Amino acid sequence: MQAFPRSLWAATATPASSYPPLRGEVTTDCVIVGGGFTGLSTALHLAERGIGAVLVEANEPGWGASGRNGGQVIPGLKLDPSELRAKYGEERGRRLTTTVGLTADLVFDLIARCRIECDARRSGWIQGAPGPKGLAQVRRRAEEWSAEGADVAVLERDEVEARTGSGAYAGAFLDRRGGTIQPLSYARGLARAAAAAGARIHGGSPAVALERVGQHWKLATDAGAVTASRAVLCTNGYTDRLWPGLAQTVIPILSSIVATEPLSDNLRTVILPGREGVSETRRVLNWFSVDGKGRLVFGGRANQQETDDPQAFGAVVRRLQSAFPMLGEPRIAFRWAGYVALTRDHVPHLNELASNLFAGLGYNGRGVAMSTMMGKLLAERVAGARADDIPLPATPISPIPFHGWRATGIALAIGWKRLQDWINP
Ligand SMILES: Cc1cc2nc3c(=O)[nH]c(=O)nc-3n(C[C@H](O)[C@H](O)[C@H](O)COP(=O)(O)OP(=O)(O)OC[C@H]3O[C@@H](n4cnc5c(N)ncnc54)[C@H](O)[C@@H]3O)c2cc1C
C-alpha cells in the first residue's frame, strides 16, 4: 500500500477510518474498484438503495486524484450547453446539461446530508480570461448558462482583480453554484457515509484479475475475491491493466500543486477575501484558492514525473509569482502532484465494457463535482435503470491511437497549447 504524498490535504484532513484489506471470498450485488469520489459515490448511492456493494481500493480511500486535487467544486463540463446539444443531439444534450448543472448541488447536498466535515464553502467559482479569446469564451458561457437559469455572471477586469487580488485577467466567468472543499476530508467523509449506509470498503486491496464466471463477475485481489452480478471500475487516471484497453481510453497527465505558509492578514484581505475557487480559460491552465488558514493553494502543469524535489515545482511557483507579484519569494510549505485523466472529446466517459460491467472516468481535471455525479449515475444504472434513462450516454471503449507514445505526445501537445495561449490568450 502506498502512503499519501506529503500534501496540505494529508496534513490537515479529518482522520481516516480504518478499512482493512479484503481477505477470503465474499459475494455481493456489486463490486467496485477504486476508492476515489467516483467509486465512493457509487458505493454510497448503491448502499442507500439497499444494494450490496463491496469496494476495493489499492491504497486508502482518497489516495488518488480525489485526495490530491485543487478542491474546486465546478459545475458543468468543459463543453457548454450548446456544445453538448451539438455533440449529443437536442434532447440528450438538454438532459445532460441539466444533470451537469446540478453536480455542485449534489456535492454540497451530500456534505450537508451526510454531515461531512470538509471546510466546504459555496463561495463561487471564477474562470479568469487572460485575453480577448478567453473573454469571448466566458461571455458566451455566462450567456448560455444564464439561459438555463444558472446563477452566473461576467466579471469585468476590475471586478476580477478585486475578488482575486490578481491583475492577470481581462475578465472572468463567475459561477455562484461552485465553491471549494478540503478534498481528502470529503473523500474520507464519503467513505464513512458509504460504510454507514452498509457498503463494505477495503483499503490495501489492489484488484489483480477480473473474469466472467457464469452470470457473475469474479474480482480477485491479492488476498481475496469478490463475486458479484455487477462490477464498476472507477480508477480514472490510475487505471492499470485490470481490463484490457480501458487505460488506453484516457491520457493521464501529472498536475502539480504548491501551498504557501498562511498569508499575512494584509494579504488575506487582498487575495481571494471571498475564498472563491479560481481557474482559467487558458489551454494549459493554472488554478488557485485559499484554504481555511489563509494558505494560497496554486496548481498547474509542471512535469510528468512524480517527485517532491522543489526544483520540479519551479515552473508552478514562477506562475504563482507572476499572478501575485506582491508575494515576492513565496514561502512554500507543501508540494505534491496527481494524475488527471484527459479524454479525446473533453467529456467524461461512462463505458459499458461488457454485460453488467461498467466504468466511469475521464473528467479532464474537472472531476470533484462530476465524479460524484458519475457515481450516482453508475449506481442508477447498476440498480436497473435503462442506459437511455442515464443522461450521459454509455459508450463502448475507444482506445486512443498511439497511446504507447503518449509521453512524447503530451510534451508536444503542451508546447503547442502554450504557444496558442501566448498568441491568442
Ligand atoms: C492535481 C489535481 C488537481 C485537480 N483539481 C481539481 C479541481 O480543483 N476541481 C475539480 O473538479 N477536479 C480537479 N481534479 C480532478 C479530480 O480530482 C478527479 O477528476 C477526481 O478526483 C477523479 O476521481 P476518481 O474517483 O474517478 O479517481 P481517483 O480519485 O484518482 O481514484 C482512483 C483510485 O483507483 C485506485 N485504483 C487504481 N487501480 C486499482 C486497482 N487495480 N485496484 C484497486 N484500486 C485501484 C487508485 O488507488 C485510486 O485511489 C484535479 C486532479 C488533480 C490530480
Q: Flag whether pLDDT at 412 surpasses 90.
A: no
- Give the span between the Cα atoms of 191 and 172, in whole angstroms: 35
Gap from CA of 65 to ligand 1 centroid (Å): 3
Gap from CA of 108 to ligand 1 centroid (Å): 19
34: which DSSP letter? Answer: -
The DSSP bridge partners found for residue 358 are 232, 352
Ligand 1 atom 19: residue of nearest CA: 367
Supply 373's cell numbers: 455525479
For ligand 1, mutation pick of 33, 45, 69 (most atoms within 8 Å of CB):
69
How do residues 360-380 score in pLDDT, each as one tens digit? 999 999 999 999 999 999 999
Gap from CA of 238 to ligand 1 centroid (Å): 7
Q: Alpha helices, DSSP H only, in 305-366?
A: 314-323
pLDDT of residue 307: 84
pLDDT of residue 305: 79
Instruction: Find the distance separating the first CA and the last CA of the chain, reported in whole Å.
Output: 43
- Give the span between the Cα atoms of 70 and 287, in whole angstroms: 8
How do residues 210-248 score in pLDDT, each as one tens digit? 999 999 999 999 999 999 999 999 999 999 999 999 999
Q: Alpha helices, DSSP H only, in 165-234?
A: 183-196
- Give the span between the Cα atoms of 158 and 151, in whole angstroms: 20
326: which DSSP letter? Answer: G
For ligand 1, mutation pick of 121, 235, 254, 361 (most atoms within 8 Å of CB):
235
- Which atom of ligand 1 lies closest to the CA of 37? 25
What is the DSSP code string of 370-393? HHHHHHHHHHHHHTT--GGGSSSP
The answer to whether residues 324 and 296 touch, using CB atoms and an 8 Å cutoff, is yes
Q: Which residues contact 9 (CB under 8 A, 6 or more apart)?
A: 67, 68, 71, 182, 183, 184, 185
pLDDT of residue 409: 72
What is the DSSP code string of 133-173? HHHHHHHHHHHHHHHTT--EEEEEHHHHHHHHS----SEEE
